[in-house]
Amino acid sequence: MKLLDHLKETDERVEDFASRIGEARSTIRKIVYGQRQPSLPLAVKIERATKGAVTPADMLLEAVLAVCPECHVRAEHPSVRICTSRGCPMAQQVAA
């Protein structure tokens, strides 16, 4: 279960959860909204605080496109989700 779903289900605000586990609100907010992946110790702390409802695996960020499946060119930056290689059909499909 995602941390956001758990907080909604338990009717707990991000600020209250952060305070309860002794972490900065900004850190927990970034984890809740998928802007940051927690360290392993923090992920374990969150798992314990949610009584196992949210596991460390639930907080892993989804991998983004690192290598284009069409032309096999490596992305310039890990956050690039489309191919930027000239002449690649994937790049043309997105641009069209």
- Domain positions in the chain are 3-59, 63-96
> pLDDT, tens digit, for every residue of 53-78?
999 989 887 644 455 666 666 655 55
In 3D space, the residue among 82, 9, 7, 18 whose CA is nearest the CA of residue 45 turns out to be 18
In 3D space, the residue among 61, 60, 58, 66 whose CA is nearest the CA of residue 82 turns out to be 66
> pLDDT, tens digit, for every residue of 8-56?
999 999 999 999 999 999 999 999 988 888 999 999 999 999 999 999 9
Architecture of 3-59 per CATH?
A: Orthogonal Bundle (1.10)
d(CA 28, CA 23): 7
